[in-house]
Amino acid sequence: MRALVQRVSEAAVRVDGETIAAIGPGLLVLVCAMQGDDDTRPALLAGRIARLRIFRDEAGKMNRSLRDTGGAALVVSQFTLAADTSRGNRPGFSTAAPPAEGERLYLAFADALAAEGIPVQRGRFGADMKVSLVNDGPVTIWIEA
């Protein structure tokens, strides 16, 4: 699985003009299940993200995790993280998991992150979502598990 993690002051997801999920300080996690991902990947990725030390401590250093801060996560499915741009100008997405498998692993990831003690909000798999965020830092990290 792949994830693009952004430290945010706030983030929200709208579908058809309605806000379906929103968080204050925490992480926006764009996540993509890849072909060949097995059932161990969601929990592995969730653990890494829950413990990722990218929040400021009292000295202003990135030394605290989402668990330490009590922040929330907004988890959004993003199959375009599987983009292959090695040929031409049109990306290919054949390395992304098929939709049914991708949705299952996406939901398992969100559940695993919640099991780590993180308050989790979710986007809607397969929907045309409008994602808004205030990137804090900015801090953006790419993670694979």
Write out the catalytic residue numbers: 78-80
At a CB cut-off of 8 Å and minimum separation 6, what does 77 contact? 30, 31, 32, 102, 103, 106, 123, 125, 126
- The Cα-based distances of 32 to 57, 64, 101 in angstroms read 30, 25, 11
Q: Side-chain half-sphere of 120: how many Cα atoms within 13 Å?
A: 22
Q: Round to whole Å and give the CA distance between 122 and 80.
A: 17
43 SS3 class: helix
